[in-house]
Amino acid sequence: MRRLSHGSAPCVLALLALSALSALSMVPRQSASTRVLFVGNSLTMTNDLPARVRELSLADGGRWETSTIAYPNYSLEDHWQRGDAARSIAGGHWTFVVLQQGPSALPESRALLVDVTRRFDAAIRAGGGRTALYTVWPADSRRGDFAGVSQSYGAAAAAVGGLLLPVGDAWQAAWRDEPRLPLYGDDGFHPSRLGTALAAIVIYERLAGRAVSRVPADWSLTAEQQGMLLRAASHTSSLR
């Protein structure tokens, strides 16, 4: 076998290093995907809110993954006791976990929301994710409870240093722009298609950290409706 001279060894090593770098450059680089788990009830399920959030990410050039654990009339305490949400959080490597229950405007409901949020947050942090609180709204017949709903979800988010997703506040901002905007569905509680669209915009903007400039064409919003929803979402930008 031919021996390398002392002078030629550095040259060979340099060639080997260049070859290794060339091989590495051929390996495709994978961008990190944002993964969002929604834990809630029919206010999340109606009109498939997680799918709308995913569609916004695609329109924005991303590739978010969303998943949902939701059952009708469930509170977060019900989810905690059932256990499947906690198991998914432990093994799912979620970027964000979005928590949602009913309006929770009463003081005792607020205390329960804060308590169960703390329990979920410990599991979410252990899995490397961040907790987000999806602020909903009261029934149409109880619009006076909007402030209490916002305070309850704000308290839960503050208790764990989580993200506040102030959808209920955005609904109110939209009504200041157009009082007749139909954000409630036919039952006066669940969201209409427009109500879910506004919720998705607020949630995506908060999680992505940037404003939505346009919505997917297949949402079939008029230019006027799109403008109202985007303005309403922007009015909540100062809320934390």
DSSP string, 161-202: T-EEE-HHHHHHHHHHH-TT---B-TTSSSB-HHHHHHHHHH
Q: Where are the domains of the chain?
A: 34-234
pLDDT of amino acid 240: 56
pTM: 0.86
Host H or E run for residue 150: helix 146-160
92 and 38 Cβ atoms separated by less than 8 Å: no
Given the candidates 3.40.50.1110, 3.20.20.140, 3.50.50.60, 3.30.70.20, the CATH classification of the domain at 34-234 is 3.40.50.1110
- CB atoms under 10 Å from CB of 102, counted, come to 21
| Alpha-carbon 16 to chain mean position | 46
pLDDT of amino acid 20: 36
Strand 35-40 relative to strand 96-99, pairing:
parallel
The list of the chain residues with pLDDT below 50 reads 1-31
| Distance (Å) of CA 160 to CA 8, 57, 163 | 61, 26, 9
pLDDT of amino acid 237: 76
Instruction: List, for residues 30-70, the tens digit of each pLDDT value.
Output: 245 899 999 999 999 999 999 999 999 999 999 999 999 99
